[in-house]
């Protein structure tokens, strides 16, 4: 029986730990989301960074029976740092992102921290609507774009 950390009975999604069979679906979500970020370097470079981040982190996925993987989060729960949180465009505003963040905060027992691309106005606005605030001004990443650091309430 699989471990389910959260679910939405009306939308039909669940959040659970990533298993090997989820990797291709998570990469499809990642690639679709990165297509919305033309300022980011190639998908292959970003994929390598994702894999590196996932090695020593917890990886959760959101899945729906018919759609498969619809989102994922990579988090270091020992520090409360969220390195990746992506929800497919078709599944946004269904509570998945908030559920990921609530699970991470509960598991870590700390305020959460993440970095948002400076150009990602929609993402930053979503975090701010949840009470997150900027703690560091925009800075250049080693991958050629700027990010701001945010902290949860």
Q: Which residue has the tokens 């969220």?
A: 82
Nearest residue to 70 via CA among 44, 95, 51, 49:
95
Query: How does residue 1 score in pLDDT terms, banded at 50, 70 and 90?
Result: very low
How far apart CA 47 and CA 31 sit, in angstroms, is 9
- Residue 112 and residue 152 in contact, taking contact as beta carbons nearer than 8 Å: yes
Percent of the chain with pLDDT over 70: 97
Residue 19 predicted with pLDDT over 80? yes
Give the mean pLDDT of 109-128.
Answer: 94
Is this structure's pTM higher than 0.95? no
Model pLDDT, residue 4: 66
> Tokens for 6?
């959260």
Please state, in angstroms and as integers, the Cα–Cα distance from residue 16 to each residue in 32, 47, 60, 96, 103, following that order. Answer: 21, 21, 5, 12, 10
Q: Which helix (H) or strand (E) holds 114?
A: strand 113-117
How far apart CA 117 and CA 148 sit, in angstroms, is 6
How far apart CA 76 and CA 65 sit, in angstroms, is 27
In the three-class reduction of DSSP (H, G, I as helix; E, B as strand; rest coil), residue 39 is classed as coil
Model pLDDT, residue 113: 97
The separation between the first and the last C-alpha atoms of the chain, rounded to the nearest angstrom, is 34
Eight-state DSSP code of residue 41? -
């Amino acid at each position: 029986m699989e471990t389910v950390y959260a679910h939405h009975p009306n939308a039909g999604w669940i959040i659970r730990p990533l298993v090997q069979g989820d990797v291709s679906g998570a990469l499809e979500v990642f690639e679709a989301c990165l297509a919305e970020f033309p300022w980011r370097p190639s998908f292959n470079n970003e994929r390598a960074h994702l894999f590196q981040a996932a090695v020593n982190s917890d990886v959760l996925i959101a899945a729906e029976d018919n759609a498969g993987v619809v989102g994922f989060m990579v988090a270091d729960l020992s520090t409360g740092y969220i390195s990746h949180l992506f929800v497919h465009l078709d599944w946004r505003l269904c509570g998945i992102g908030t559920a990921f963040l609530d699970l991470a905060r509960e598991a870590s027992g700390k305020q959460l921290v993440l970095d948002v691309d400076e150009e990602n106005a929609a993402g930053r606005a979503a975090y701010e609507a949840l009470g997150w605030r900027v703690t560091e001004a925009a800075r250049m990443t080693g991958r050629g774009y700027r990010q701001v650091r945010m902290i949860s309430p």
